[in-house]
Every structure is written in C-alpha cells, then in structure tokens.
Chains A and B, each alone.
Chain A
Amino acid sequence: MTNKIVKYFFIFTLLTVFGISSLVALDSDLRRYLFGRAISAYKLYQIIALQPYLKKDNIKGASLQLMKYIQTSEKFANGKSILLLGIYDAAKLIEIKATSEEDYLHLEKVFKKLVEQDPNLYEAQVWLAKSYSYKDTELALKHIDKAIEISSAQDSAYRVAIKIAQEKGDKDLANFYCNKYKNSKFGGSIPRYTKSFFEGNVITKMALEFLPEKNTQNFYTHSGLQLNNFDKYEFIPIKPLDVSGFKIYLSFLPGIKIDLNEIIVTNSENLKSIPLNEISVTSNSAYVDNNYKDRILFLIMNESDEVLNFKFKNKISSLNKISLKMKISKLDLTNHVLCN
C-alpha cells in the first residue's frame, strides 16, 4: 500500500514538473509574468532583509548584506544587471542612516563596487567621496569632481567638498566649490516612482498656465531658465485670452530662490506693467520672503513639483503676451565664513 502511494506520488510529481515546465516554456506571457515577479520579489526581499540592521543602526551588518546582494547580481550578469536599480535603492536606504566615520568606512567597499558597476551613478560617486573624505581627501575630491561632471546642478557633491574644505580650513577650496555650485545649472534628478512636470527635477524649465482654468488647458513651456540674472521670460498664448492670473509650474532642485520684480502684460490696446501690490500669490510648498516690497521672492526648498499661483486684482482682457522679469538663483550651502 505504502509503495503504491509513493509510486503514485512520484508519478504525480513528475507529471506536475513536466506540466509546469512545458507550460512555462511554451507560454511566453506566463513566463514573463513569473520571471518578472520572481525578480521583483527578490529585490523586495533584499530591502526587507536590510530592515533588521537598519532598525538597530547596524551599518556594518547592512553593508555586508548589501555586498551579498551585489555579488549575486554579478552572477546574474557580466555588466550592469537588472538588479542594479534594486541595489541602488538599497544602498540609498543604508546611506541615509550612515552618520559617522565608522559607518562610512564600513560602506566604502560597497560604494566602490557600485561605482565599478556603474561609474555614471551620481550618488554612488558622492557616497564614495564621503567615505574617502575620512581618510584620503584628494581621492574624495576626485570622486566629487566626477560626480559634478555627471550632474553639476545637484548639491550633494558640493556639500561633501565644502565639508572637506571646512575640515581642512581651506577657504579657497570652499570658495571654488561654492562658486561652481552657484553657477551650475546642468543636470538634475528624477523622481524614483513618478514623473515630474518635466520628467526630472531641473532648474532650467518652467511652464505657465493662464487663469481661469478651462477644460482644455495649455501649459506654455520654457526651457531656458538662467541663473543669477534678471531676464524677461515671455509667454504668448495661442489666442488672446481674458486672464485673471496665471500659474507657474516648476520641478526644481531644492534650495532655489525666485526673485520676480516685474510682470508686463500686452493686449491689443497697450502694454503695461502690473503693480506687484495688485497681485496675490500662493503656492504648493514654496515660501515667500516678504522683506521686499518691490518684488515677490519665493524660496523653493523641496525637490518636487511646485505650482506658484498668481492672481491679479483686475482682469486683463485680450492678453496676447505676458513677460515675467525674474532672477533665479541658488541658496548658499554655507555661511560667509567659508564662502564669500
């Protein structure tokens, strides 16, 4: 009896294996589904596996776990594997928790591996620079420069450089990076799980929408924002409109100041400058500096989509052009003791 049960069980198992493998081999959709889910599950598992270490601030343990993850990905593919994005997410989680020299020294090998796998991974270059900053500042600066080459507008690389300058008491070095940062506008980040107004967070693009909103709205785009100068940004609607205000759409990097000192509207009759005290402003998450009466000053602190709302006191009829005279600049990363 027992033998029969074993025999039938064995046959059943073989048949099941045969059936499943045939099905998966022949059905491409099912195969895609299974493989995709398996890899996603593995990636999720790796994140979850880090949790116990991170909750206990055990960066050493977390870095070893991450190292295993990287080694597995190297078996997956010779080159940049599908797991690289997952490794990046995991590394980011750990790096947020790292605070001390010891933490960064534990993580150095991991960051080095990441940079080897993908030398164009901006954040990995910055993290590695942070690790090196504790023992070899020249090497750290080399990686900082590499990061800046990859994306010059983002602030994290400069922060590491200025910290190094602070440790060394090197004001020239600090000034060099401060000035570089203030004048750099190329590059930007991209949100991980969504898309921003302009795909990524950049300081060169904006869009304008005329109010009142209608069913089919048009967002008038501009991709030439300049730093540190007052420039006139013009927007012309497709057809002349009666407007009560407008909205500005931005997806800036954090730490940006927008200084708006003139709004000129043109219609069929004339061209006029709208007094700033006849405009009310609100925003999603920007701050307004009210110390200046002759301008409207916004401070953008978040690296996310932002909408600035402008409402006129009086409606403008048949508007066919609006010009915004404004200056965009970056807030300082340090005080005047280090940077002039």
Chain B
Amino acid sequence: MKKLIKLIIFWLFPVSFILMITFAINIFILDFRYSHQSHMIYQPPFSWSKYYTSLYFKKFIINTFVSKKIGLPQVHIYVNEQSKEKLLSRTPNSTKKWVNGSMLNSDGKLQEIQLRYRGDNPQNWLLEKKNLRLKTRKKEMHDRRRYYEYTGFDLELFPINNIAKRMGILTNNSKLVELYINGQSNGVFMQDERFDENYLRRNKIMPINLYKGENHNVEKRIGLDENLYNNPGLWVKTAIFNQKDLNDKSDLKNFLTTLQSAEVRKEDFYNLLEYIDLETWANYLSFMILTKSYQADHFHNVRIAIDPWNGHVYPILQDPHPVKIDDKIYTLEYSKDDLISLLNRNSEFIDKKYDKLLNYVIDKKILFEEINYFEKINEKLEISLKRDPEINAKKMFKEIEIFKQNLKKTERIIKNKLFKKPSVGWSKNLYGINIFVEGEMPASTIELIFDDEIPKWAGFDTNYNGLIDENEHKFFPNKNNSIIIPAKLYANRIAYSLRKTNMFANPNYKIEASPTKFSIITEKNIKPNNIRAQNHFSQEKFFVKYFTNFDAAETNKFNNIIFEELLFNNDKKTQSISGQIKVKKNLVFTKPVEISPGTKFLISEGAHVIFKNKVIANGTIEKPIIFQRDKKKAKPWGSVSLIGKKTTNSEISNIIIDGGSGGYYNQVSFTSMFSLHNTSNIFIKNLKLINHSKYDDMMHVIYCDDITIDNAEFMNAPGDAIDVDISTNIKINNSKFINSNNDAIDFMESEALVESSFIYGSKDKGLSVGESSNILIYNTLLEKNNIGIAVKDKSIAKVLHVSFRDNEIQLSAYRKNWQYGGGGSASIYRSIISAERNLLEVSNESDLEINDTSIIGLNLMEEKNILIKNVDFLDYSSEQPNKKSQVVSKDLELTHPLYSNLQVNRNQNRGYDFKN
C-alpha cells in the first residue's frame, strides 16, 4: 500500500508540477497584459483563477442545461482562431488592427466584415466578453451604418443611454442584442454607434468637426496639465469639417478662448451664449441631474461637435455612467468641468434647466418610461442573460429592480427639490426694500401688498444705484392694491473649493447658492405691508418673511432677473431702416427690423449684414431694397444672412443682392452672399442675385424649415446658384437659374418642391438631388444643362410635368457618397424628354421609372433598372413646334396647368406652358 501511494505521488507530482507551472505562466502573462503593460492603466488586483473557474463552470451549465430559445435579437459573427490570436498577439496595439471575419446579415447570408477590439483598457479585450468594433464594406452598409460597436451589457450604461435618447440628446442609438461568435453565445451586448461623420449625417448634422476629449489611460499626456478646457492641444478630431485643414483646430481654440474670457467679461459671456444653444445644453444638464451621469469631466469622456453653420457647440454623450455623489455636497448645480460650471452660474440657464427637469419629471415622466421599457423586454432579456458567460442572470435582475427603484427615488427627490418652498426674506432700505433669496429655488411672481398708501409704480433697481433708470422696468398697481412683478429671482451661484489641493476637482469643488439681495424701489418710497411670492414650479404661494437686519450680496454678473417674456421682450421694439446705409464693418441686427422700400446698403469689402431677429424687408418693384458694394470697382462684400430661430416669420421681397461673396462671422461660416441658417417660416419673393464671387454658392439654405422662394432670379452663379442642406419644406417657384457654373440647385438631406421654374445652361447639374433628399419637381423646364437632374445617394426625385430639353445627360441616377449606401431613385411622370441624343444613366444601385411620357430623339438608355410604362418614342426631326413647349421670349412668364385639368390622353398637358 505504501508503495502504491509512493508510486502515485511519484507520478502525480511531476504532472501537477508541469500543469501548475503552465497555469502560473499563463496567469502571469494575462495579468501582466491586464495591469502592467499599458501606459497609465491601473487596475485593481484580479483573481484570474477564480474568474476562469466560474467561467468554465458557467459555460458547462449553459451548454448542458440552458435552452436554445431565442431571446434578444441575435447577431452572428464568425472569425477564425488565427485572427483572434492575431488581435492579441502584440498588445495593446495589435487589438486595433483589423482582421477579417463574417457576419450573418438579415437575409440569412454571410457578409464579409472586418473586426477588431475596442478600448484602451485591457478589461475590454482580455476577458471572455470582448468589446468589438466591426466594419462592413462601403457597398454593404445597413441603415447607413458602416461601423458597429459591441460592448458587454452594462446595467448602468444602457438604460441611461436610452433615457438620453428619449430626451433628444445626441448619443448612441444603443440596442440590446445577443452576440454569437462562431456559433457560441457570448451573452448580452449593447450594439452601439461610432461617433464619426456618418453619425453626424444620420442625426441631420452637417459634416463638421467632432472633437474627442480624452486625457485618460493610454491617451493621457505626460507632463501636461490635464484640463481639456484649458488646452485645445489635448483634443482629437474624430470627424472633420472638410472646408478646413485636417489639423486646423481654430474653431475649438476660439470656443475655449471665449469660454475663458466669459468668466471675466460680461460681453464675452454673451458671446459664449452664441455657441451654446440654451435648449440643447439645459436639456443635457437636466439629463445629467436625472441620471447623476457625471461621467464627463474636465479630463475625459467629452465629445463635442462645433457647427460652423449655426455657430453652436453640441454635447454628445459618451459612456454615460451614474456617479456616486455624497448627498451632503450634491446640488442641482453640481459641475465637473469649466463649461458646465460657468453655465450653472447663469440664472437664465439655470431657469431653463429647471423647467426641463420639471417637464421630464412631471409631464413626460421620462424615468418612468425607462422602467416600463425594462418590463417590456424582461422576458427576452432573461432568456439571453441565462446564456451570458459572465453575467449572473438572477443577480442582474435584482440589480435591475434596484435600478428601477433608484429611478423612482430620483424622480421623487427632483420633484421635492423643485417644489420646495424657496428661502426668501425681505427688509426695508433707504430707497425701498430688499428681497433676499437663498437656496436653489427662485422666488417668482413677487406681489407687493399695500394697505394704506399705494405707490404709482415699483421697479427693480438692477444696478443698485438708488434710482429706476430708463432701462429698468416699472410695474403698476392692480385692483387689489398690490403690485405684481412677474419675475424670477435666483440666488447667486458661487464657485469655490473646500480644499487647497486640486481645487477644481470634485468633491472639493462646489457651485453653491449664496444669499442674494434684489433691490426694489417704489414711488415716493412707499413700503409694502406684506410681500407674497410663489414657487414657479409648484405654483404655491407664500408670504415672505420680514427681517429687520439681513445682509446679502448684490447679483453677480451671471445673475439676471428673469422677467416674463411676454411683458419684457426687448425684441418687440422694431428698428426701422431706410435711406442709404453705409456698412463699413459687420452690421448685426439683434432686434426686429423693418426695412423700407428703396433702402440701399452700401457694403465694404468683407463686411456682412446679419439679421438675428425678425426682418420685414418688403421693397417694391419700383423701389427695391438693394445690397451692393459701396463702390463700383470695390472688392466683394460678405453675406446678407438670417441666423437663428428669432428670424422666424421674416419676409423679404423685391430685393437685389449684388456683389457679395461669403466669409466668417465669429464662429459662423457663410459660403454664399445670401444665407439662411437655422431659421424657419421665411417668405422670399422677387429676389435677384447677381455678381457673386469667391465662395461656392449664391444662396445657401441650411438647417431651415418652411422656406418659400418665389420668383427669384439667379444669373451666372460662379458655383451653385442655391445650395439647400438639411432643410425641409423648401419651395422654389417661378424662379430662373441661368448659366450656373456648377449646379443650379443642389440639395443635400432635404425635402423640397421645385415648381414652375426654368433652369438653363448649368455647367454641371440643373438639379442635384443628393444625400437622402426627397424632391418633387413640377412644371419646370430644364434646358441645355450638362445634367438635367442628378439623383444620388438614397435620394428620391419625383418629376411631374417637366420638360427635359437638350441636356447633355437628361437624367442620371447613381451612387456618389458611400456614406449613404445606395444610388438614387427617380420617377418621371407626364413629362417630355427631348434632344438629339437622350442620355439617361442609371447605375446598378439606382432605379428609374418613366411613365406616360414622351421621349423625342435618340434613346440612349440601358434598360436595366429602368421601368418604362406608356412611353412614346419619337424621332427628334419629327418634333413639331408645340406652342406649349416652345420658348418664345427671354422674359419668361411661367404658368402651370392645374392638376384637375389634366387629361389622360397621351402627350397632352405634358411639360410646361409658356406665354409670351
């Protein structure tokens, strides 16, 4: 027996020894790669033995006992072992080299792809569930997406991303899937988007600079201060504004410069607000409060896009994670970077943010929707989670329940904060009274109650000089012997640190409300007997406590009293302009403007005339309104532009724009001499544009909605006559486009109607319908253009009653920009196509339908992808002059037949109708 035992030990020991050494070496290599290989990666100790033991056990259970039912949507990827090994062969850089693989697409076919791991942290690719980035071929995209990212399911990340999406914040369109690799379930993953140019286009944003702010892990810069907002050199571009050099970061530099000077100079704070769309950022911050998702801070997880077309900076949510914050230090103005900390000190911004919070918590119940979402997907999620090698399904569901409870709790906490009675007091002073506001909530609708004598007026002394100045409003008594001031008073927000080291880092850094006094002066210094105020959010009224002795600071430069817009909208005061206006430098109108007929703007080289508010510029035929160079031989001026939502409902008629070009105004770019940026409901009639130079377009419409251009004339455009980008409801009627050097009308991601117009002699395209546009062309003549209509990149063109005459290529449908994943689709109905040679080009990815139309001349079209119904083919020589189709004079007056008059008869009522 002893011998036997000895023998067993003798043979067992070397085997165990070898196994153990092998195991140990593998662990050492793994751990080395995990924690000791990459620059600036610090991981807590990781027990690989425990991890692998539980992993293999779980896999055994999954393979043996767990059902094969379909849970979440499945994604099947196939990659050979060699490629997998290649990815981990020489870490960390090898993880970023693409290897070949394949994916099962929705048709059940295998599609070739390339894949790699993503993330600098080895946690992303050393464990069993690896985070992947896939790319398809350019020709084989799905839903205009080429890149797909797969990240292991994270309970904190996924629902927060969903909440952000519902709130309209730019973020990942994340989807839960079950990822299979080589036929084996790899568990639940989040299918994410990559932030690049394609992402911007899918979100209806132009290709602009998208900046990534990461000064963390492998991307940490040695020896440099880590604050992103203090150094444009720390940012990297992930999408590029193609009109500037790849390495140009001037837009970011300008933004950061403005941000820094905004803290010290009030006028620069207003310049900063030109970058910041308050709606967007208030929305973003209210999201951060609701989800406590403060993952973006001064050194990492920041993504912003700087849009030179509307001048705005957009935040893009990256890696949202709730952060544990001590309730004792947490406020609604909790800030982790320079930009947010500055915005959180501005009363107007705070007000908008609180309004948004109220809306999401009370009206939209946005957190509640997320709870419902989990309930909907519960069953499918459970099925897939049971097959997840790393996640314990039971534990996960418990965590989901806790998460749901936390969401409910957050809703309650926010509601309680918003509905809390504001901390307000009042006292008497030499000139009137002081109202003190403390705490987060504002005091609103201040009611001064008088018993005996009633003053004739009362007003806020905003500059504390003891007087009501001209720009300070007066309020008058009502029937109830009180004066109601419809204003919101916020306490100052002060930035300070609790510790001397790392002052700007949390939890040391705080933005806190500090007691603030507001001075009210009454007529004859008559003091009220009582004051009542209201919580703006709960609408509850309360009496304000009187103090004999109380002191507080005056409002700081970021704190303005917020008056109700209706009463104190400065914008109501309209400026009238007439006569000759010499414009030597940029002329910017921030208030509504009315321009009289016959007004002439004489504009110097490079100067712009910019309207940031409503403009009514109705000239007459005899006395048009003219924008021209200040001297005949002067160099071109810049642009006449309408920028921003406040210009909505503007009217422009009988206008001549002569001799402009384009340029820059602060951070906004103009590529035309007449520009409409980010506006809506604009009516333009009798517009003439001539002598444009230097820049691409004569007129540029971008980010607009509901724009009518009626009877416009575009002569000899050096580039495009009109460029329409990411706009909807655009109507161009009764207009002429003569001899454009490039395209007459160029559409990108837009929806429009082109009606009763004449497009002649364009050196490239008469109409360029591109990049997912949807255009209806009706009763229009396209003559002697290089290409009559070009339809490309998943765009749709519907052509009705149009004459194509003598264009080199009558119509072309093709794929140009791979980002859209397809060609163009065109339908021609009841039209005339005539030329000696009628060339119609339709690529493999495109299609064309021609219905009830005449084709006069040689037919040069390949009939692949062309559907022809009820079409006459006639010889060119047999074309009879047709009064309806002949151009008889230069001065064209276009009319169109009413649709109800159309006959079904062949060749009748096709094309346009010209009158002499």
Contact = CB atoms under 8 A, between A and B. Distances in A.
Interface of A: 14, 17-18, 21-22, 24-26, 28-29, 31-32, 35-36, 39, 76-82, 84-85, 88, 118, 120-123, 149-152, 185-190, 192, 195-202, 204-205, 207, 216, 218-226, 231-234, 236-240, 249, 266, 268, 318, 320-321
Contact of B500 (A35, A190, A197): A197
B256 A186 contact: yes
A331 B688 CA distance: 56
B365 to A, nearest CB: 36
Nearest to B31: A31
A77 B39 CA distance: 9
Interface of B: 16-17, 20-21, 23-24, 27-28, 31-32, 35-41, 45-49, 90-94, 218, 221-227, 229-233, 247, 253, 256, 260-265, 338, 341, 492, 494-505, 509, 512, 514-515, 551-554, 556-557
Contact of A221 (B37, B47, B497): B497
Given A150-B233, A219-B497, A240-B551, 8 more contacts: A17-B21, A18-B21, A24-B24, A32-B45, A82-B39, A200-B226, A204-B260, A321-B554
B557 A188 contact: no
B226 A76 contact: no
B515 A234 contact: no
A221 B224 contact: no
B226 A199 contact: yes
21 contacts: A24-B24, A25-B23, A25-B27, A25-B49, A31-B31, A32-B35, A35-B36, A82-B38, A82-B41, A88-B223, A149-B233, A150-B221, A151-B224, A151-B225, A197-B503, A198-B502, A200-B226, A236-B556, A266-B554, A320-B553, A321-B554
Contacts of B90: 77-78
B49 A190 contact: no
Nearest to A19: B20
B224 A150 contact: yes
Contacts of A236: 492, 494, 514, 553, 556
A200 B260 CA distance: 17
A77 B92 contact: yes
Contacts of A149: 233, 247
Contacts of B499: 219
A196 B503 CA distance: 9
Contact of A195 (B49, B501, B509): B501
A18 to B, nearest CB: 5
B17 A120 contact: no
A223 B260 contact: yes
A224 B261 contact: yes
Contact of A199 (B16, B38, B502, B552): B502
A224 B28 contact: no
A79 B218 contact: yes
B261 A18 contact: no
B124 to A, nearest CB: 14
B31 A318 contact: no
A133 to B, nearest CB: 21
Task: Indicate the member of B28, B47, B227 with the most A CB atoms within 10 Å.
Answer: B227
A39 B36 contact: yes
Nearest to B265: A231
Task: Indicate the member of A36, A88, A197, A225 with the most B CB atoms within 10 Å.
Answer: A197
Nearest to B23: A25
Contacts of A18: 16-17, 20-21
A122 B222 CA distance: 8
Contact of A218 (B225, B260, B496): B496
B224 A226 contact: no
Contacts of A225: 260, 264
Nearest to A199: B502
A207 B503 contact: yes
B92 A79 contact: yes
B37 A76 contact: yes
Nearest to A20: B24
Contacts of A79: 38-39, 91-93, 218
A82 B36 contact: yes
Contacts of A186: 230-233, 253, 256
Contact of A28 (B45, B94, B218): B45
Nearest to A85: B222
Nearest to B218: A80
Contacts of B37: 76-77, 81-82
B551 A14 contact: no
B223 A239 contact: no
A80 B216 CA distance: 13
A233 B233 contact: no
Contacts of B253: 186
Nearest to A267: B551
B222 A84 contact: yes
Contacts of B39: 77, 79-82, 84-85
B224 A219 contact: no
A283 B49 CA distance: 57
Contacts of B94: 78
